[in-house]
Structure 1
Amino acid sequence: MKKFINEFKQFAMRGNMLDMAIGVIIGGAFTGIVTSLTDNFINPILNFFTGGRIYSLQDIAGFASSFISSVVNFLIMAFILFCLLKMFNRLMSIGKKEEPVAPKTKICPYCQSEIHIQASRCPHCTSQLEK
């Protein structure tokens, strides 16, 4: 049973699974924006031009505030997901040691210019370097 739980943990903690879950949540939150855009802008414009209904300024202000509210809700949801993912990545990196990266450059002892680590002659001052 312990092995099964460890395998499930490795499966659930894989990066692509988290990306997919966040994509589904963001997609659901974006649905609210699309629905609000349709209900508060596209349908009223179509109703106005087809003569189905004439809107007052209060109606238009209500449409705009409803759309802005759905956009703000989406931004809040996206920010919360961003913070959760950032915290999750930080928790997953605890205990993992980063391997030191081998230097790719060195300093010329004569002119103090930065040169490639395997260079045998400085390209700046043309001094012969020791290996």
Structure 2
Amino acid sequence: MMKSKFLEDFKKFAMRGNVVDMAVGIIIGGAFGKIVSSLVSDIIMPPIGMLVGGVNFTDLKIVLERAVLSPAGEIVKPAVSINYGAFLQTTFDFLIIAFSIFLFIKLLSKFERKKEEAPAAPAAPAPDIELLTEIRDLLKEKK
């Protein structure tokens, strides 16, 4: 009995509009993040790398300890490094995503302002005002 009540409450919670909207937003945001990451790494960063001497930012690192290789050439112990190029790449991704979201919200707020600026239709008069208007019109007709 307790278990079904718990599941019923969870179903009510999960199916509320704002929870579903949030889930859709997270899914679309994840896909958008992948698109922006590709934009940054595949389109924006190669020309920037060319401008700074053909550097691929994701390859930038400070090697703290070199890899240890076996006589056969296999890695026995991997290298230890600070991969600051990957950090720079992720930072560029974030900045472009943040800027894109800023532009999108600015566009939405522009549309909201246009809706607010549109003159609202005059409100219908209250029932007592309508009744008084009818009485006035009837009295005018009798004269």
**TM-score, normalised on structure 2?**
0.39
| Structure holding more helix per residue | 2
**TM-score, normalised on structure 1?**
0.42
Tell me which structure has the larger Cα radius of gyration: 2
